[in-house]
Structure 1
Amino acid sequence: MGRGVRVLITNDDGIDSPGLHALARGARDHGWDVVVAAPEREASGTSAGLTAAEDDRRVRVTRQELPGLPDVPGFAVAAHPGLIALVAAQGAFGDPPDVVLSGVNRGANVGRAVLHSGTVGAALTASINGARAMAVSLDVPLGEGAEHHWDAAVAVAARLFDRLAALPPGAVLNLNVPNRPGVDEPKRASLAEFGAVQSRVKDTDDGSIDLTSVLVEGDLPPGSDAALLAQGHPTVTPLRSVSEDTGLDL
């Protein structure tokens, strides 16, 4: 596949996310034909959900100029990223994309918890509709005030752009990058059973459920995305989307 690759950039952090803009600039600078369509507000944790804010069965779409991207069409969509990837495959934002890049997400997406990620959900939805896709996430630590090295994540992702475009339609990569400048080539990693950070129920005394994020104690599985990322390595994990389990004997 040549340089005239048509690419959709989306995310689950919303149209105003600097990680989204950085990824779009990286794809444009790579020579690809880029369009951006992302949720009008944050849609984290929505998996491949197809929820949208509808008005008379029409999903609201607003043209939006993006910082540093005057030549790239941008669309703020009142929908989750899974739906955006689905309608993009049906020509909602021009010709269907050859490649879908989802991110750069604020926070890692590792382990089996990728099932719940809107960033990964968009990539998986794109894959079952014929595109090659990559989810890109930056391992920003818990808490406020951390510097976000978006350009480092994009630089690692760009090393995979041509390889991604050459993969068969339906291929999905999940890339996680440490939050620091000057990171190395990504290492292929297995999908961990759990990540370094997990959600826990904190309190249910008043009839509601209060969730908090905690660091997981103990060793992470060797060679897994969670372990290698914790050691400071970018990780890439090929994912398989929904398919039948031919090995299950019923």
Structure 2
Amino acid sequence: MRALITNDDGIGSPGLAALARGAVAHGWTVVVAAPAEEASGTSAGLSAAGDDGRITVEQRQLPGLPDVPAHAVAAHPGLIALAAAQGAFGEPPEVVLSGVNRGANVGRAVLHSGTVGAALTASLNGARALAVSLDVGLEPGPHQHWDTAVTVAATLFDRLAAMPAGTVLNLNVPNRAEVGTPRRAGLAEFGTVRSHVENGDDGAISLTAVVVEGDLPPGSDARLLAEGHPTVTALRSVTEDPNMRL
């Protein structure tokens, strides 16, 4: 399988390199293309640096991947996935792996995630996609178990490759040295962390992340992840609603 590895944390993220190494170890043909700078929260946006429609691409070498082409792209991950589908980094990928993201992507707020946005964009362009996130919490400690997330993700690689083109899976892994197998989960209304907007005295608004209080819905991705289980959720990209009467 031809695999594109991307993310929204940027080309220097250790989670990106770990996921690329996992795909190489699995025997896939791998190319890496990721934002030159962090692009978290960009959803499936197609923004890029530059005023003339040209997007800067610089070659990089990632740790442990001397033979894998790696590109630092001055663009958001959604645009990178779109460009890859049109042959910008070689033959279009059959599989797109997005991550490993620094922080969980659970609940309906996955709509805003650049990690998930890249996967959804890839699916609209004929690839199978897997978004992978590590639940490091609001204040990441010194130990971030990227290899744990990749090990769990690798258990899904063959299953993903056998699924129809356009399939999207969203995987979240607890930040632990050892975890169990992924559990299928629905999307919670909100994750364990929620964005909070406050109005300032100067007329500006500020955006902060706060921990959601109260019980999380049983069987939801947020609840199962909080209990220490990896979760996997099949996502559907934008489509019409045949049941809506207009």
Give me the TM-score of the superposition, normalised by structure 2: 0.98
Question: Which residue of 2 is the match for residue 78 of structure 1?
Answer: 74
1:247 to 240, 243, 246: 243
- Partners of 1:199 and 1:132 in 2: how far apart? 29
1:109 to 83, 89, 105: 105
Asked whether 1:182 is paired with 2:204, we answer no
2:192 to 177, 189, 196: 196
Aligned residue runs from structure 1 range 102-141, under 5 A: 102-141=98-137
Structure 1 residues 112-121 or 209-218, which shifts more?
209-218
How far residue 142 of structure 1 moved from its aligned partner, in angstroms, is 1.2
Question: Which residue of 2 is the match for residue 145 of structure 1?
Answer: 141
Asked whether 1:49 is paired with 2:49, we answer no
Name the amino acid aligned to 1:157.
A
Name the amino acid aligned to 1:228.
L
- Partners of 1:77 and 1:208 in 2: how far apart? 31
Asked whether 1:6 is paired with 2:2, we answer yes
Secondary structure, aligned partner of 1:54? coil
Alignment check: 8 A CA contact 1:140 1:146 kept: no
- Partners of 2:238 and 2:213 in 1: how far apart? 31
Question: Which residue of 1 is the match for residue 233 of structure 2?
Answer: 237
How far residue 180 of structure 1 moved from its aligned partner, in angstroms, is 0.4
Q: Deviations over 1:195-240 (max 9, x none)?
A: 1111112451222212221111111010000000000000000000
Name the amino acid aligned to 2:218.
P
- Partners of 1:77 and 1:161 in 2: how far apart? 25
- Partners of 2:138 and 2:188 in 1: how far apart? 20
Question: Which residue of 2 is the match for residue 31 of structure 1?
Answer: 27
Name the amino acid aligned to 1:30.
H
Name the amino acid aligned to 1:217.
E
- Partners of 1:57 and 1:206 in 2: how far apart? 35
How far residue 146 of structure 1 moved from its aligned partner, in angstroms, is 3.8
Question: Which residue of 2 is the match for residue 162 of structure 1?
Answer: 158
Alignment check: 8 A CA contact 1:203 1:211 kept: no
Q: Deviations over 1:23-76 (max 9, x none)?
A: 000000000000000000000000000001125321100111111100100000
1:171 to 167, 170, 174: 167
State percent identity of aligned pairs.
Answer: 75
Structure 1 residues 68-77 or 51-60, which shifts more?
51-60
- Partners of 1:114 and 1:48 in 2: how far apart? 11
Structure 2 regions of 5+ residues with no counterpart? none
Name the amino acid aligned to 1:162.
D
Q: Deviations over 1:158-211 (max 9, x none)?
A: 000000000000000000000001111000000111111111124512222122
